[in-house]
Amino acid sequence: MNIESATDEVTDSIAHIEMYRQLATKEVGRAVSCPEALRKLHVLLDCERVAMQRQASGAGHAANIDAVTLEIEKVKNDGPCGEG
C-alpha cells in the first residue's frame, strides 16, 4: 500500500476521524466510537472509489483507497470494534 501518495485531504480526513474516535472512546467507550469511526471511514472509502471511477487516470485515488483501507483495518483490530 502506498500511503505516502495519499492526498492531503484524505490524510486530514483520516486524522480527523481518528482524533474523534479517540476522544469518543474516552467519553462513551469503544462500543460507540469504533462503529462510528468505521462508518465514516467506509463513507470516505466509497467516495474515493466513485472518484476513481469518474477519472480515467484515477490519479491519487488508488493511494487514497489504500490509506483508507489500512485505517479501516487498524480500527477493526483496535479492540472490540467489529463492523457494527
Q: What is the pLDDT of residues 15-54, one digit of tens each?
A: 999 999 999 999 999 999 999 999 999 999 999 999 888 8
pTM to 2 decimal places: 0.85
Residue 5's pLDDT is 81
Residue 3's pLDDT is 45
State the alpha helices, DSSP H only, in 29-60. Answer: 30-54
The residue to which cell 486530514 is assigned: 12
pLDDT above 70: residue 57: no
- Cα 40 to Cα 34: distance, rounded to the nearest angstrom: 10
pLDDT digits (tens, 9 = 90+) for 66-84: 999 999 999 999 866 654 4
Q: What angle do CA 10, 75, 38 make, to 5 degrees?
A: 65
Structure-block grid coordinates of residue 56: 480515467
